[in-house]
Structure 1
Amino acid sequence: PYNPNVDSTVHDAWETGYIPVNQAFAKVIIQDARRNENPPIVIGHDYHLYLLPEFVRQEIPDAIIQHFVHIPWPTPRYWHMIPSYITHRICSALCQTNLLGFQSPQDRRSFLDTVEEFLPEAKIDHHNFTVEWQGNRTDVKVYPISINVGEVQRIANSPRALESEAKLAPLCNEKTIVRIDRAEPNKNIVRGFKAYELMLKRHPELIGKVTFLAFLVPSRTHIRQYQRYMDEIEQVVQQINRSLGTGDWQPIQTFIENNYTQAIAGMKLYDALLVNTIIEGMNLVAKEGPVVNDRNGVLILSATSGVHHQLAEGALTVSPTDIEGTMNALYEAITMTPEDRERRASLLAASVCQEDITHWLHRQFQDIAELL
C-alpha cells in the first residue's frame, strides 16, 4: 500500500536521469563502432540499460544487439503500476535487440505477455518466442546464469576456507541446516527461521540434535525497510534461541558479516541448505552448495527462485510463504535416507557442472554467431 509512489521526482528522474544515461552509453558505443567497417556486436546487461538497444539501432541499423536481463521480469499487471509511457518505451527499446535473454522460462513468458499488452501492434510468436516490431525481429531466449565451478571448488579448498571450516565444524550437530543470504526482505529469512522453530516444536526429539547456521550479509543498511528487516531477523533469532535453547545448545548460530570464504566453508558442512527466497532472478548459492558440499546435503528450494527450473529434480520444492510446508521439507531433508540424499546430491552437482558459467557464455556466443 505504500510503494511505489510515482511522483514528479520519478518522472523527472526518467527524463533527466535514466534516458540521458542510456544515451550516453549508446553514444560511446556508436562512436567506437564507426571506427570499424563491420557492424558491431553490442551486448548490454540488465535494467540499467533497457533503452540502450533503441539508441544503438537508430544510428547503426545493422548492428547485432544482444541484451541480458538478470532480474525477474514482472507480469503485465505489475507493469501497469508505473506510467504506461515508460513501460511502452522499455518494451519498444528491448524489441530493438536481435537476442534478448532472461534467467528463466517464466521471465520469458512474462516479457512476451508484457509486449503483447503494451505494444499491441507487435507480432508475437509464443511458440518460437519471437517478437517482430518496427521491422526488427527479436529472439527471446533463456540463459540461466551460473558459476565458475572450478573457482568455487578452489576457494572451498583454500587455506582460508579450510581454517574457517575447522572453526565452524564444532558448531555443527548431528544434523546441520545452513542458509547463506544477503539480509534482504526478498530472501525470506524470517519465514525460514519460523519454519525451523516449528519443526523443533513439532519434533521435540530433535532438540539439541539440529543446529541452524545462518551466514547473513548486511545489505543496503541505509534503507529503512532493510534496517527494519535486519532488526526483525535478530529478534526472531533471539526469541527462538531463548525459548528453545539449552545451556549447551543454541538452535541458531548467525554470522552477520560479508565473508564469502567463510560462507563457502559453511556450504561444505550442511545436511540441508535452505533457499526459500520469495522471488529473484537467479540464486547462485543453490548452485555453489552442491559442488562443494561433503555430506550429500539436501537442497530445499523455493519454487519462485530463478534457479528452480534447473534444479527442481534434485531439490525439495517449497512455496516461499508456506511455513508449514517449509517445516515439512526441513524435516524430510534431515531424515532422508542416505540413498535418496546421494541420488539428489548427484543430480544437483551434475546439473551445475554441466551448465556452468562457460556453458552460459557459450550458448550466448553461439546464438550471436548464427546471426553473423
Structure 2
Amino acid sequence: MSLVLVANRAPIRPTPDGWAPSLGGLASALLPVLEDRGGAWVAMRGPDEETPLTQTYPPETAAFTVRRVPLEEPEFEAFYQGMANRVLWPLSHYLVEHVEPDRSFRDAYRAVNRRFAHAALDVARTDLAAGREQPTFWVQDYHMMLVPETIRAGLPDARIGFFWHVPWPASEVFRILPSARDLLRGMLASDLVGFHTEGYAENFRESARDLLGAKVEGETITFEGHRCRAESHPIGIDVERFEGLAMAPGAAEMAAEIREDLGGVQIVLGVDRLDYTKGLLLRMEAFERFLELYPERHGEVSLVQIATPSRTGVPAYDQLKREMDEASGRINGRYAKGAWAPVRYRYQSFDQAELAAYYQAADVAFVTPLRDGMNLVAHEFAAVSAVCAERGGRPGALVLSELTGAADYLDGAFLVNPYDADGLARTLDTALDLPETERRARLSQMREAVRDLDVHVWAQRFLESLDAEGED
C-alpha cells in the first residue's frame, strides 16, 4: 500500500549537483520507505523558497511525489514561528513561561493544517480516480495536530498514523492551552499515535480522558465512536551511517587534530541547537561549579560547547545567545590561564562528519537538556565512541539528563538532574576518571540499545503496527 507522509519539512533539498535527501533522521528513515511503497510527501514551502510545488523523486525513477504547500510570510510567521515555536514547543517541554497563546497563532495554525490535509487528500483522491488503492497517511509532529481530523472527514475509512516527536506533557500542563481540546480532537482522528516513551503515551491517554472524557482501556482511546491507539515507538539514528563516519578514512586523524588544537586536555563535549530546552546555561553554570569544586583539574579539562544557530529572530532565542556569550566570557575570564581556556564555545553549524570527529575526540559527552523527546546526540555519541573503542581508541563516557527520552533506553549512561549544578559537577568528575574497562562495558550496553532503536527499524515497527491496526 502506498504512503502519504505529511510533515513540516520536505525530504529533499537543492544542491549544486542537483536534488539530494535532506539532512536529518526523518528523511533518512522515511525516504527508503517511500521509494519502496510509492506515494507522496506533503511539506511546507516557506515564503523565501523557490522550489517547485510538485516534483517527482528520484529524478531517474520517479518513485514518489513531493507536494509542497506554499506559505506567505504572515501565515508562516503565525503558524510556524508563532503557534509551533512559541506555543506548542515550549509547552511540550514544560517551559510554560515561554508560551505565548495568541489567538492569531491559533487561527493561522488551523488554516495551514487544513491546507496540508487537503493537499494530502488530493493525492489520495488522484490515486483512487486512477484505480489505485487508497494510500495510508502518516502525519508527523506538533506542527500538524489538526491534519488527521480533516483527512478523516474527507476519507472516513482512511488509515491514519501520527507520530509525536517531542515530549507529551502531563494533562494538567497541556490543558493550559486555550485550544487544548481542539488539538486533542484533531489527533484522536488517527488510528495510531506514536511517542518515544511509554510515559509520553500515558500522558496523552490521560489528556484524552481528562480533557475530553474519552474512554481509555490499556493503550486504546475511544472517542466519539472512533478508536485510536497510543503506543511507544522510540526513534533512533541511522546507525550504519554514524558507524561509517567513525570508520571513514581520516576520521581518527581529524579527532586527533581536535585534541591537539585544544592542547591535549580532557574534552567534555556538548552538542546542541541553541535552544532554551537544552539546558545550555545551566550546563555552563554546572561546569563553572565543577571548576570551583575541583581546582586540581584547572588546565586539564575543557568544555567544548557546540551550539548550532536556531530560530534566530525569535526574542527568547536571541536572548539565550546573548546569555551564552556572557557565560562563556565570564568563565574564561575567571579561570583561563596561559594557553588553557576552560570553555571553547562554538556558535556555528557542523556537518555530521565533523560532529563524528568531535564525538571521537571527546572523553565525556555532556548531554543535559531540561526536557527532550529523545535526544539523538546521545545515540550518535554512543555509536561513534563504541566504534572508536573497538578500533583501539579511548572510549568515551556519557553524562545524560534523566529528563530525556534517551534516558529510558541508554542504560550505560550516567543519569543526572540538569537542574542540580553540584550533582552535575560531581558526576562529571566521576565520568572523567572512569576506568577504561568500565567505559567499555557501559558503551557496549549503549551500543546494543542504539542498534535496536535504529531509525529504519523505528519506521518499520510503526508502520507494521499501523497496518495491523487497520486489519482489526
TM-score (norm 1): 0.91
Stretch deviating more after TM superposition (352-361 or 74-83): 74-83
How far does the alpha carbon of each residue in 1:332-364 deviate from its partner, in whole angstroms, 9 at most, with x for none? 101122222111111111110122112211211
* Matched residue SS, 2:361: coil
1:147-186 to 2 correspondences below 5 Å: 147-158=237-248, 161=251, 164-170=254-260, 171=262, 173-186=264-277
* Matched residue SS, 2:162: strand
* Matched residue SS, 1:242: helix
Matched, 1:328 2:419: no
What amino acid sits opposite 2:303 in the alignment? F
Query: Using a 3 Å threshold, how does the CA distance of structure 1 residues 116 and 367 change in structure 2: closer, same or farther?
Result: same
CA distance in 2, matches of 1:256, 1:357: 28
Which residue of structure 1 aligns with residue 158 of structure 2? Answer: 63
Contact 1:143 1:360 in 2 (8 A): yes
Residue in structure 2 matching 1:9, options 60, 83, 104: 104
What is the Cα deviation at residue 150 of structure 1?
A: 1.1
Which residue of structure 2 aligns with residue 265 of structure 1? Answer: 357
The structure, 1 or 2, with the larger RCO (C-alpha pairs under 8 Å, 6+ apart) is: 1
Which residue of structure 1 aligns with residue 454 of structure 2? Answer: 356
Matched, 1:27 2:121: yes
CA distance in 1, matches of 2:355, 2:132: 48
Which residue of structure 1 aligns with residue 383 of structure 2? Answer: 291
CA distance in 1, matches of 2:184, 2:141: 13
1:157-306 to 2 correspondences below 5 Å: 157-158=247-248, 161=251, 164-170=254-260, 171=262, 173-260=264-351, 261-293=353-385, 294=388, 295-306=394-405
TM-score (norm 2): 0.73
Matched, 1:101 2:194: yes
* Matched residue SS, 1:268: helix
> Which aligned segments of 4 or more residues in structure 1 are displaced greater than 4 angstroms?
159-163
Q: CA RMSD in A?
A: 2.0
What is the Cα deviation at residue 245 of structure 1?
A: 1.4
How far does the alpha carbon of each residue in 1:181-200 deviate from its partner, in whole angstroms, 9 at most, with x for none? 11111111121122112112
Query: Using a 3 Å threshold, how does the CA distance of structure 1 residues 7 and 231 change in structure 2: closer, same or farther?
Result: closer
Runs of 5+ consecutive residues of structure 1 not aligned to the other structure: none
* Matched residue SS, 2:222: strand
How far does the alpha carbon of each residue in 1:91-129 deviate from its partner, in whole angstroms, 9 at most, with x for none? 122222111101112211110111011111x2101xx21
What is the Cα deviation at residue 168 of structure 1?
A: 0.7
Stretch deviating more after TM superposition (244-253 or 166-175): 166-175
* Matched residue SS, 2:349: coil
What is the Cα deviation at residue 161 of structure 1?
A: 4.7
1:74-153 to 2 correspondences below 5 Å: 74-83=169-178, 86-120=179-213, 122-125=214-217, 128-153=218-243
Contact 1:30 1:60 in 2 (8 A): no
* Matched residue SS, 1:280: coil
Contact 2:403 2:417 in 1 (8 A): yes
